Amino acid sequence: MQLTTKDACRVLKKLECELVECKHHIRGFVILDGRRMFPVHMSYGRKDLPGDVPHRFRQSLNLTIEEFSALSSCTMSRSKYFEVLREKGLL
């Protein structure tokens, strides 16, 4: 799975994540009803995320490859993302 930093940032903005910018990484949390639910991390850069970073980024959002593809291609909304997590019993 290929993922650029720009695409990852777009996903974080779509999910309205609380972000904390550090020197080398972007760290944050998926927020639901004012509560921090899941931590997310990614590196700065302009290219594709290296190695297994896209896989770990996807896993931090608790999504399958197909679900993450829908989220990053704008066919899944923020509310649908939380519905998927509820169906999985994570919320």
Residue 22 confidence (pLDDT) above 80 = no
The number of distinct structural domains making up the chain is 1
Is 58 in contact with 1 (CB distance < 8 Å)? yes
Q: Which pLDDT score is estimated for 46?
A: 67
Is 53 in contact with 43 (CB distance < 8 Å)? yes
CATH number of the domain residue 45 falls in? 3.30.920
The model's confidence at residue 2, banded by pLDDT at 50, 70 and 90, is confident
Q: Which pLDDT score is estimated for 63?
A: 92
Q: Which pLDDT score is estimated for 77?
A: 92
Range of the domain at 29: 5-87
Query: How is residue 16 written in tokens?
Result: 């309205």
- Model confidence pLDDT, tens digit, residues 37-89: 888 887 776 677 777 788 888 888 999 999 999 998 888 999 999 999 999 99
Q: What is the mean pLDDT of residues 16-20?
A: 86
